[in-house]
Structure 1
Amino acid sequence: MNTTSASTSAPAHSAASAQTDRFVHDRLPPPDQWPRRVYLPGSDIPEQANLVEVLFSRAFQNGHADRPMLRSDRITLSYADALDRVKRIAQVLTEDFGLVPGNRVLLRGGNSIGMALAWLAVVLAGGVAVAGMPLLRAKELGEIIAKAQPLLALCDGALLEELEIAQSRGGTLQTIIPFNLMNAPGSMAVLSAQKDGHFTPCPTASDDIALMAFTSGTTGSPKAAVHSHRDVLAACEAWPRHVLQARPDDIVMGSPPLAFTFGLGGLLIFPMWAGASVYYPSIPYTPEAMVQLIQQVGATICYTAPTFYRQMAAFARLHGVPDLRLCVSAGESLPDATRQLWKDATGIEIIDGIGATEMFHIFISSSPGEVRPGAIGKVVPGYTAKVVDDSGAEVPHGHIGRLAVIGPTGCRYLDDERQRNYVKDGWNFPGDAFTQDADGYFFYQARDDDLIITAGYNVAGPEVEDALLKHPAVAECGVVGVPDADRGMVVKAFVVLRPGHTGDAAQVKALQAHVKAMLAPFKYPRQIAFLLQLPRTETGKLQRFKLRQP
C-alpha cells in the first residue's frame, strides 16, 4: 500500500514524536484485553499511515483526481476539489484553534458534503473524530462530551441549539464552529476561505487513533469504541474488496448517518477507497423520495435498513431504478420476505451483512450470487467466526450459541470495564446469538442482551426507562423491544402510574412527548401499556422476558 500524499510527502516519523495529546492512548484497555488481530496476506499497512492521506493518495494515483467525489443537488466536488477544501479546514483547526494530534473533535451534523469534509479534515490533521448523530439531545451530547472530553466541535449551523445547551451545562467543550453556513462570521466556510490550502497531512502512526464511535449498548451508559488509522485501512481490504466490489463509476446513496460506522464506511470511506462518488441529499429521506433520487441521480449503490427497503419496494416498482446494481442492508435483521419483496420489485438481490460499531464494519455477508435464504452470509475474507457456548467451546452445526469473531479489526473501548465482556481470549463477542450450517452460512437468531434495534437504530431500554421515570405520572416502568412488521422491532413501555393518573390515550401521548423532549426521537416508545405492577423477582429485579411475552 502506497501512502504517498496526493500533493505533499509526509515526514518519515510519527506524530507521536511531536506535541501529542495522549488522552485516548492512556485510556485504552490493558493490552492483555485487546482483541487478537489477523490480517489478510498482502494487506500489510506501514507503521506510518494517515487514513485520509492514504485515501486521497490512492484516488490520485489511480487517475481519479478530476472525477466526482462528493455530490449534492447544489454542488459536485472532484477528488482534487475535496482535498483542497479538506486541507483548508485542517489549516483552520491547527493554525486558528491549535489542534494537536490526539485532540478529540466533536462532529455534529447530518449526511452532507460539509459533514464529510469536516470529518476528513479532523483526521487528516491528526485529530480524533467523534461524531454524534444529528437527533441527539443536549443530555446525550453531554454524555459524549464527558466521555471524549473534546475542546472543539464542528456543528451544522442548523443543529447548534442542543449542542450549545450541552456546552452551557459544563465540561471541556470550549469552541463550537458552525459549518454549512456560507457567509456567517466565524463559520468554517468563512474561516477556511481565508486559507491557501497548503497543508502537510499529520504524520500519524498507523496505530494512532482516528475515530471514536459511541454506542450505548443495553445500559444506556455510552461506550466509546476507538479505531486506529490501521483499523479502517484494514477494513477497506476486507468486506469492500471481497463482497461489495464497488467501481470508480459508482454513485453511492443511502440513509445511515455518517455518525454510525455503517454510514461512515458505506457513505464515505469505502466509496473513496474505490474512487467512486457519494450523493448527499439536501432533504430528509422518505422511502418515495429515496427512490426518486436514486432514479434522478443515477445511483448505482444504496445503503439502508430493511425497513426502508420494504417501504421503498412499491415506489421502486412504480418509478423504476434502472441504474441501481448493488443494495446493502445492515443495522437490523433482514427478513426473507423483505429481501424477496425488493427483488421482485427491482430484480436486485440485497447484500445482507452484520457488523458492529466495535468492529468498525461488516464481518459476515455474502455477495448477491451466494445468498442463501434465511442466512446473513458467510464470514468475510480476513475474518474468522464461530458459534460457541458459554464456556467458549464451538457448538455443533445447527445449534444456537454466541457469535465470536476475530480479524483485522476489533473492540477497544475507551476506559470501560465492559471491555472484558466484549473481548475474551482475543476473540470479539458482539452479543449476538447465531447458528451456523455445514456450508459455513451464519443464521442470526437474536441479540443475547436487551438491546432494541428499531429501523436500524439502537435503543437501550434502561435509558428510555430513566426518561419515563422523570415524568410525574410514572411510578415504575419497564421498556423492551417487541416485533413489528415494518420496523423489525419497536420500543414498548410498560408503565405503572402514580395514584390520581389515568392510563388513557391522552396519557400515552403525554408520555411519548415527554420522552421525545429528553431523548432522540427514534427512542420514544411507540407502544405503551399500563399495568398495576411489573413482574419482578423476589429480589426486586425486573423480569423483562415476561414483558416480551405476548
Structure 2
Amino acid sequence: MTGSLGGWAWNGLRPASADDLGIPADLDATTALLTRNIARGLGDAVALRNAGGPALTYRQLDGLVNALALRLPWPRTSRIVLHLGHSVDFVLCFLAVLRAGLVAVPVPSTASLRDAADIIEDAEPTAVLSGQADHLQRVLGTEVAELVRVSRDGDIQTRLAALYDRPESRHRQGERHRTDDAYWLYTSGTSGPPKAARHRHQDIPAAASMWADHVVGLRPRERCLSFSPVTHSYGLATGCFLPLWSGCEIVITAVTHPGALWQAIRDSGVNRLFGVPRHFASLVEDAGLAGGGHQLTSAHSSGEQLPPQLQERFEAVLGIPLLDGMGSSELFSNPISSTVTERRAGSSGRPIPGVAARLVAEGQVIVGPGRGELEVASAANAIGYWNRPAATEATFRDGYCRTGDIYDRDSDGFLFHVGRSSSRFKVFGEFVDPTRLESAALTVIEVIDAVAFESQAEHGIHACAMAVVLEDGADADAVARAVRAACADTVGHFAVPRKLYVVAALPTTHSGKLRRAGAREHAEANGRSH
C-alpha cells in the first residue's frame, strides 16, 4: 500500500503525497489496519489484549469490527462521540465507526463529566457511546444526541450488547474516499480552550508508513504498550494505529502505579513503550520494581520536551534508548523524530522521510541554522478545525500547519525546542520564555518538575513566578535559593522568580502534558510560597 520514500531526504523540500505513499483513493482506513494484515498471513497473530486478559487475533478483531459496523444505524458521516476511556472497547468501537463511514470523536479518558459534556455540545454528534451514560446524562441535562449505554461487565459482546443486539441495518456501499473525515481529535488545551482537529482516512496509513516503517521500525508480532491513553493523539497513534499497521500486538492497561506498570510490561513481554516524559520519569524512579527483568528494546517520548538528564538516566538504568519526537493533535504522529542512529541530546530530532518542515521568523523562511516557528507539511496533517474558521485560517496555510512551537535548528538539521510562541511573556521589557526557566530549575537535583508563569509583584508590575515539585525530604528554602540562582545564571536576573511555590503536583492536560493555562491559579491555591 505504500510507495518508496527513497526520494525524500530528512529535510525534503516537499512532502510525500497520498499518491506517493500508494494510498488508494477509495481507502477505508480499517482495511489498512486489519484486512491488510490478514491478507499478509497475520490473521492468527494477536492484535489486541488487556494486560493479563484474553487476546484478540487480527481475524477475530476484524470480525468483531465488521459485525459492529453493520449494526450502527446512523447516516454516513455522522459524528459519534466515544466516551469509553482507555480500553479495548474504545479501540473496537473506534474502528467500527470508521468502517461504517462515520466520524469518531474521542473524549479523553481523564476528562471530567463536564469536559465530556463540553465536547459533546461542541461536536454536535448524532450519538454518544458512553461507559458512564447515566452520570453523563445528568450533566448534559437535555438530550443532545442518542446516548448508548456501554457496560463495564462481561465479555466484549456483553459490554457492547446495546449495539451488538441490534439488527444489521447497514451495508458497505456507496463511495468511500481517502479524504473523507475519519476522526476528530480535540486539542489538549495546553494553553487555551480545546479545538477539534479534523483528520481524514488517509492520515492513518500516511503517518503509519512514514513513522512506524521508516523511523521506529516496528516489526510484526512485536508487543507495544502506550502509557498515553488511546483517547488522545499520541496514544491513538502509538496504542492503536501504528501497531495495527505494523502487525504488532497492542497491550492495554489502565493501571498507573509503577509497580503494576512494571508487572504489565514484564508479564506481557512488552517490546516497545510510548508515552510523555512524565511517564518515563515515574517508570525509571521505580525501576527496581521491574523484578525479573524485561524484554524492552526501545521507548519513545513525545508530547513535550524530553529533558536530557531524564533521557540519560533512563538509558543508563534500563539499558534501552529513549527517543524523543514532536507531534500534536493537528500533526497526528511524530513528523519530527529521533532515531537510534540519528539523535542529539535535547533535540526532538529531524523531519522524518516524507515530511517537509520549515522554520519561519517575521514572515521569512529560515535557511540553514536559525530560530523560528516550526511549520510542517505532511499527508497526515489535519485539514482544519471544526467550526473554527479563524483558527483554521491562522493555523493551516499553504499546505503547512503552524505548530506554535519555536525551535532552533543546528547545522545538521536537528531541531531543539525553545518554547511556545504563545507562552512567552514580558518582564522588565524583556521577553521571557518559561521553558528556559523550567530547564534551569530542573538542574537543581531536588527538583522533580517545574512550571514558570507570569505573576504580579508590587504595584501590579509584571514578574516571573514558578511552581516546583520537590523530592521527599528536600529543604524547600534551600532549593528555592538554588533555583533562583540557576535562573539568574541561565536567563538573567530580570527573570528570577519573585515567588516560588512548592506544590505536590503540577496541573496536566488529559494527555499528561503540562497545562500552562491556569498554572498560576493552581500554584496559588495549592502551593506554599518560598
User: What's the TM-score, normalizing by structure 1?
Assistant: 0.73
CA-CA distance at 1:165 after TM superposition:
2.9
Aligned: 1:247 with 2:242 = no
Residues 1:67 and 2:36 aligned together: no
Matches of 1:185 and 1:210, distance apart in 2: 24
**Partner residue in 1 for 2:33:** 55
- 99, 103, 119: which one pairs with 2:78? 103
1:92 aligns with 71
Does the Cα contact within 8 Å between 2:130 and 2:150 map onto a contact in 1? yes
* Structure 1 residue identity aligned to 2:524: A
Matched with 2:311 is 339
- Give 3-state SS (helix, strand or coil) of 2:376's partner: strand
Q: State the Cα RMSD in Å.
A: 3.5
Checking the alignment, whether the CA contact within 8 Å between 2:128 and 2:148 is kept in structure 1 is yes
Aligned to 1:153: 128
CA offsets, 1:332-389, max 9 Å, x none? 1101111111100111111211011111111111211222122111111111112221
- Give structure 2 stretches of 5+ with no counterpart: 3-13, 426-433, 458-502
| Alignment correspondent of 1:392 | 364
Assess if the C-alpha contact under 8 Å between 1:152 and 1:174 holds in 2. yes
Over 3 Å counting, the alpha-carbon distance change for 1:161 and 1:332 in structure 2 is farther
Instruction: Work out whether 1:380 is the aligned partner of 2:352.
Output: yes
Contact 1:37 1:410 in 2 (8 A): no
Is 1:529 the counterpart of 2:524? The answer is: yes
Q: Which residue of 2 aligns with 1:421?
A: 394
Q: Deviation of residue 246 (structure 1)? A: 0.7
Q: Kindly state the Cα deviation for residue 129 of structure 1 after the two structures are TM-superposed.
A: 0.3
- Looking at structure 1, the residues matched to 224 and 318 of structure 2 have their Cα atoms a distance apart, in angstroms, of 17
Q: Deviation per CA, 1:176-200: give whole Å up to 9, x if none.
A: 3314343899952364167689964
1:211-222 matched pairs, under 5 angstroms? 211-215=183-187, 217=189, 220-222=192-194
Aligned partners of 1:133, 1:53: CA distance in 2, in Å? 25
**Alignment-derived partner of residue 339 in structure 2:** 367
CA contact (8 A) 2:148 2:162 kept: no
Following superposition of structure 1 onto structure 2, how do residues 503-514 of structure 1 map, counting pairs within 5 Å? none
Per the alignment, residue 202 of structure 2 pairs with 230
Change in 2 beyond 3 A, CA 1:203/1:270? farther
Report the 3-state secondary structure (helix = DSSP H, G, I; strand = E; otherwise coil) of the residue aligned with 1:435: strand
Distance 1:272 1:183, change over 3 A: closer
Give the AA of the match of 2:56: L
- The SS at the match of 2:341 is helix
Is the CA contact (8 Å cut-off) linking 1:182 and 1:189 kept in structure 2? Answer: no
Instruction: Give the match's secondary structure for 1:205.
Output: coil
Q: Percent identity of the aligned residues?
A: 25
Q: C-alpha distance in 2, partners of 1:353/1:142? A: 32
**Inter-partner Cα distance in structure 2 for 1:252 and 1:81:** 19
Deviation at 1:420, TM superposition (A): 2.1
Asked if 2 retains the 8 angstrom alpha-carbon contact of 1:387 and 1:434, the reply is yes
Is residue 55–residue 273 contact of structure 1 (8 Å, CA) maintained in 2? yes
1:78 matched to 2:57? The reply is yes
Question: Which residue number corresponds to residue 269 of structure 1?
Answer: 241
After superposition, give the CA deviation of every residue in 1:253-294 in whole Å (9 maximum; x if it has no partner).
Answer: 12111121111110011111011111112x422233222211
Residue 303 to residue 46, structure 1, CA distance change in 2 (3 Å): same
| Cα separation, 2, equivalents of 1:185 and 1:400 | 53
Task: Give the counterpart letter for 1:78 in structure 2.
Answer: T
Structure-2 separation of matches of 1:431 and 1:303: 24
Deviations 1:28-75 (A, max 9, x none): xxxxxxxx9642774122221100123212111111111101112221
Q: Does 1:43 align with 2:21?
A: yes
Structure 1 residue runs without a partner (length 5+): 3-35, 453-479, 497-510, 531-549
Q: 1:402 aligns with which of 368, 373, 379?
A: 373
Cα deviation for residue 487 of structure 1 reads 6.8
CA contact under 8 A between 1:405 and 1:428: conserved in structure 2?
A: yes
Quickly say closer, same or farther: Cα 1:201–1:66, change in 2 above 3 A: farther
Contact 2:80 2:128 in 1 (8 A): yes
Q: Which deviates the most, 205-214 or 178-187?
A: 178-187
Answer yes or no: is the 8 Å Cα contact 2:89–2:156 preserved in 1: no
Query: Which residue pairs with 1:437 in the alignment?
Result: 410
- Structure 2 distance, partners of 1:144, 1:488, is 30
Shift of residue 87, structure 1, vs aligned partner:
1.8
1:431 CA displacement: 0.6
SS at match of 2:262: helix
Q: Using a 3 Å threshold, how does the CA distance of structure 1 residues 232 and 521 change in structure 2: closer, same or farther?
A: closer
Q: Does the C-alpha gap of structure 1 residues 80 and 491 become closer, same or farther in structure 2, counting only changes over 3 Å?
A: farther
- 251, 273, 278: which is aligned to 1:302? 273
Q: Per-residue displacement from partner, 1:472-522 (whole Å, max 9, x unpaired)? A: xxxxxxxx99837577545879699xxxxxxxxxxxxxx99xx99xxx998
1:290 aligns with 2:269: no
Is contact 2:25-2:177 (8 Å) kept? yes
Structure 1 partner of 2:421: 448
Residue 118 of structure 1 pairs with residue 88 of structure 2 = no
Given the superposition, is the C-alpha separation of residues 293 and 393 from structure 1 closer, same or farther in structure 2, using an over 3 Å criterion? same
Give the match's secondary structure for 1:434. Answer: strand
Q: Which amino acid aligns with 1:425?
A: D
Aligned pairs, number: 445
TM-score, normalised on structure 2?
Answer: 0.76
Counterpart Cα distance in 2 of 1:436 and 1:117: 41
Amino acid of the residue matched to residue 278 of structure 2? T
Distance 2:172 2:274 in 1: 33
**2:344 match: secondary structure:** coil
